[in-house]
């Protein structure tokens, strides 16, 4: 196992065996990811309460705002994620999906809490030092996303709060029209919920 794999495993054990200490290491939950430490961000993420269905629903069975506008043909299942801004529920941040010329999709960060405080927050936790000065807003954190059998499969998903790239990601709708996001790394998985917050099309 790599050093980072050992690191994540240690964090998981800490949360299970010493929940009080883990909470302290997560630091103030009101702080942003830039103010918390790397381990604090990981603990914060996994300690957030979740209250959403994780059961997949085929996109054709989900009704979103653009599906109800007269004169606009509803998007096909593969394009259902387009035309909206989605906000993460476990940690603040907003995403827009775009379609590439080759028919795959990309996920782009369009807002972070730091944009209210900083003019141009950076990807300072990136393990590649040459990328630590790139802006968070506008960053593509996943590309080459393919639609298959009601889900969108990502070959990778980069997480700037941790500076870690998941080996695989999956996006799918639940019955409430939320977009569920699942990432996989080192045999672990984490699940997130994106809520629709804005129509942009």
Domain with CATH 2.40.128.520 in the chain: 59-199
Owner of token pair 């059961």 = 55
pLDDT digit string, tens, across residues 126-183: 999 999 999 999 999 999 999 999 999 999 999 998 889 999 999 999 999 999 999 9
Rg, the chain, Cα only: 17
Q: With H, G, I as helix, E, B as strand and everything else as coil, classify residue 45.
A: helix
User: 59-199 has which CATH code?
Assistant: 2.40.128.520
pLDDT digit string, tens, across residues 63-88: 999 999 998 888 899 999 999 999 99
Closest C-alpha among 49, 51, 52 to residue 174: 52
Which tokens go with 68?
Answer: 């109800």
DSSP one-letter code for 88: E
pLDDT digit string, tens, across residues 41-71: 666 666 666 778 999 999 999 999 999 999 8
Residue 197 reports pLDDT greater than 90: yes
pTM of the model as a whole? 0.79
Quote the CA–CA distance of 99 and 106 in Å, as a whole number: 6
**Stretch (H or E) spanning 3:** helix 3-17
Owner of token pair 């990136």 = 126
Q: With H, G, I as helix, E, B as strand and everything else as coil, classify residue 131.
A: helix
């Amino acid at each position: 196992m790599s050093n980072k794999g050992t690191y994540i495993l240690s964090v998981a054990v800490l949360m299970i065996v010493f929940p009080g200490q883990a909470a302290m290491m997560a630091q103030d939950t009101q702080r942003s990811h830039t103010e918390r430490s790397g381990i604090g961000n990981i603990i914060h993420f996994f300690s957030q309460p979740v209250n959403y269905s994780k059961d997949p629903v085929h996109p054709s069975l989900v009704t979103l705002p653009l599906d109800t506008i007269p004169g606009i043909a509803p998007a096909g299942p593969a394009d259902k994620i387009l035309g909206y801004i989605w906000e993460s529920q476990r940690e603040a941040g907003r995403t827009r999906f775009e379609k590439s010329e080759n028919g795959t999709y990309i996920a782009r960060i369009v807002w972070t809490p730091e944009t209210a405080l900083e003019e141009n927050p950076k990807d300072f936790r990136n393990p590649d030092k040459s990328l630590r000065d790139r802006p968070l807003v506008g960053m593509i954190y996943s590309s080459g996303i393919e639609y298959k059998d009601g889900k969108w499969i990502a070959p990778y998903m980069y997480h700037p709060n941790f500076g870690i790239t998941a080996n695989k990601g999956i996006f799918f709708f639940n019955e409430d029209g939320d977009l569920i996001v699942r990432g996989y790394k080192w045999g672990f998985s984490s699940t997130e919920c994106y809520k629709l917050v804005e129509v942009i099309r």
